[in-house]
Structure 1
């Protein structure tokens, strides 16, 4: 089925269906505070504000004026999208849905007092809190690299200036140079993302620097859509891409940004561009709020996305430890609607339906060669569990792959409208 904007928004409306209870006359509106304006946080803020019809006071805390989507940012690297097409503003959330926007960083959470402290010193009280800060990186996960080296060896795994920097570096590579990616260990944001990125860098190099090479240094024995990517690389970029997995030292790597060297199990490799994607964990505010565990992620109730530590707090998207769903924009958007429904039920007594989740991850390998993987999920007491799944197949005809890519374009238009209004 072709997923277009109308169908996406229609299914979203069905997922978020509710019956609002009227607020008591003269009673102060209950307060929802949302930290993080990405696919999880902005969706949840919008759905609570929209479907409560003003009965809930909604505040969104987000330091950035413009949000750049990580999903589809690889297509910018490959030359299939402009950087501006990734940019989305919050104006409609404020103007159309009455959401209060605070452009600041959340610095701390007092769970007992139900107060968020901002970096600027302001405090914001809440009745329910949503934490959706995305990812942060694990210090020391790639020896020799930290955030101070990101201007030399960019991560580009938080979209924005880092994405532009990485593209500029690839475009400026010497003829016949070497692009190296240090892939992350599980779990991390967007399982197919690094390998779509390799595809898009290869597409760019094929046009501008066809004798260049790509080296993937990977700590994982296997990766998402591996057979599909490897088939595509052989078809579109033969001889350009090599991958070193843990069997050959891919899990024993360090980098030397000052000399542009990568050390793989003791062997030194000179590189021209190095994209370091470190190991990841929940955004720092989740840890500051005390809702993460030893894994670095935040365990949640699969039926509601409420924290297992504090039922007044919900953790959405990449930061959550919820079970079988991947960390993706689609997943965060899906989880946000379940959380929004539960929050409305808690605060104004609206009807609550059983939680249902879905996800699809599209990837582009080359022009009109799109692939996808996805699943539907249900909530159990233990986790969000996959109940059915699908994946593109190797050897698919070109017209199907083109249709898959076009489907992804419809999805992007639909989900960004669903998130930002």
Structure 2
């Protein structure tokens, strides 16, 4: 595979063509034996219509050439991506541009789209029960429910409190609440963000969000407002890059405090707009509280998780360690060195789809290859990235090569990195939902 290298060697520059090759490694389209088309179709059900679930459904339907009966269950008619939601927050995109439907999956690939909430999996009967009592049978099941927020991991926080102090760690209404609250701030009013402990969805995400919040305040000429970042982690993804960017673009506006300074996050008082730590209390007109996370509720109900709250899998296939008929992909899985990201979920979905096809149709399966890149925008045209390629090794998904942007890069290179992220987003949406973003 040939890539265009960027001038500092920080990984391949992405094009629409190379995205398909990179993200789809190990998941090539495979012809099926003709006799399978005359038989009853094996049934594959996919729970979750995000970057992992929708991709899995599309590749199962597309690459099986109609030999599989594919049903996709999602609790909404459309899906708002968490990736690029910070770009929306910063004012670079509107909400419609990160919200996508399932029509193409139905009309072009014959997928059965069910709008409903999966509330139970009967692993013995091999059925999924919906909230309305409907049971859907499967031969293979893909579980891609994303994450659930552990509200009580922070004292004083709750689902109700999130309507005032949004976490916005699931795309949709929470994203809109945070945007509305941010845009309503006045000069001199502060923001307090509480970041989550590991593991959590999108490791660089909170810090890109800080950057986009600062961008909005700066663009309004607010010189008196500050953003306090209260972090239970000693270090965070792309730390040197973000802190360099904050000092360059937003001097004096962003104050990051780790556990050595604040101690523990003792609790939040949403009504008072305050977060109490082990050593101090921080007040803000806007609280962005991002608690600890675990696999989506359906994975817990089906007993697919371990003591971490996430789902162990076979690194070579994404098959659940708990059930040979179930695959778990995306944020709900324990994917070794891979971070919980949209790119990761898309890559894992293709490996899972390939292995399911092999099991149900007799098509070939190739060794698993995975990839991920996480881009972040710090300020207009100042984009950075981190990523890797992965293979199964020693019982887990292991990074075989890595790359990351470097402090001090040229403005031209940073602009190219941001533009690359836009190409990726459009390619990702086309690859996941079968539509042009």
Aligning the two structures, in what range does the TM-score lie when normalised by the shorter sequence? over 0.9
| Cα drift, residue 20 of structure 1 | 2.0
1:96 matches 2:144? no
| Cα drift, residue 146 of structure 1 | 1.1
1:334-391: per-residue Cα shift (whole Å, max 9, x none)?
A: 0000000000000001000000000000000001000000001001241000111000
Give the direction of change, closer, same or farther, for the CA distance of 1:250–1:369 in structure 2 (3 Å limit): farther
1:293-350: per-residue Cα shift (whole Å, max 9, x none)?
A: 1110000000000000101000000000121100000000000000000000000010
SS in 1 for 2:318: coil
| Cα drift, residue 268 of structure 1 | 2.6
1:254 to 267, 276, 290: 267
1:33-78: per-residue Cα shift (whole Å, max 9, x none)?
A: 0000000000000001000011000000001111000000000111
SS in 2 for 1:189: coil
Measured in 2, the distance between the counterparts of 1:160 and 1:99 equals: 24
The within-5 A match list for 1:275-314 is: 275-314=288-327
Give the direction of change, closer, same or farther, for the CA distance of 1:230–1:190 in structure 2 (3 Å limit): same
Aligned to 2:365: 352
SS in 2 for 1:384: strand
For structure 1, the 5+ residue unaligned runs are: none
Aligned to 1:69: 81
Measured in 2, the distance between the counterparts of 1:246 and 1:10 equals: 41
Do the aligned residues in 1 keep the contact of 2:61 with 2:70 (CA within 8 Å)? Answer: yes
The within-5 A match list for 1:244-393 is: 244-393=257-406
The within-5 A match list for 1:181-260 is: 181-208=193-220, 209-260=222-273
Give the direction of change, closer, same or farther, for the CA distance of 1:221–1:12 in structure 2 (3 Å limit): closer
Measured in 2, the distance between the counterparts of 1:307 and 1:13 equals: 21
| Cα drift, residue 10 of structure 1 | 4.5
1:5 matches 2:16? yes
| Cα drift, residue 174 of structure 1 | 2.5
1:403 to 416, 422, 436: 416
Measured in 2, the distance between the counterparts of 1:312 and 1:22 equals: 24
Aligned to 2:433: 420
Measured in 2, the distance between the counterparts of 1:216 and 1:11 equals: 34
Measured in 2, the distance between the counterparts of 1:129 and 1:241 equals: 45
Do the aligned residues in 2 keep the contact of 1:378 with 1:385 (CA within 8 Å)? Answer: yes
Aligned to 1:37: 49
SS in 2 for 1:253: strand
Tell me the number of residue pairs that the alignment of Structure 1 and Structure 2 aligns. Answer: 421
SS in 2 for 1:181: strand
Do the aligned residues in 2 keep the contact of 1:244 with 1:250 (CA within 8 Å)? Answer: no
Do the aligned residues in 2 keep the contact of 1:33 with 1:60 (CA within 8 Å)? Answer: yes
1:261-306: per-residue Cα shift (whole Å, max 9, x none)?
A: 1112153332110000000000000011111011100000000000
Do the aligned residues in 1 keep the contact of 2:46 with 2:71 (CA within 8 Å)? Answer: yes
Do the aligned residues in 2 keep the contact of 1:371 with 1:405 (CA within 8 Å)? Answer: yes
The within-5 A match list for 1:40-119 is: 40-119=52-131
Give the direction of change, closer, same or farther, for the CA distance of 1:347–1:207 in structure 2 (3 Å limit): same
Measured in 2, the distance between the counterparts of 1:174 and 1:119 equals: 43
4+ residue segments displaced more than 6 Å: none
When normalised by structure 1's length, the TM-score is: 0.98
Measured in 2, the distance between the counterparts of 1:72 and 1:250 equals: 31
When normalised by structure 2's length, the TM-score is: 0.94
Give the direction of change, closer, same or farther, for the CA distance of 1:24–1:170 in structure 2 (3 Å limit): closer
Give the direction of change, closer, same or farther, for the CA distance of 1:13–1:375 in structure 2 (3 Å limit): closer
Q: After the TM superposition, which of the residue ranges 301-310 and 169-178 deviates more from structure 2? A: 169-178
| Cα drift, residue 207 of structure 1 | 1.2
For structure 2, the 5+ residue unaligned runs are: 5-12
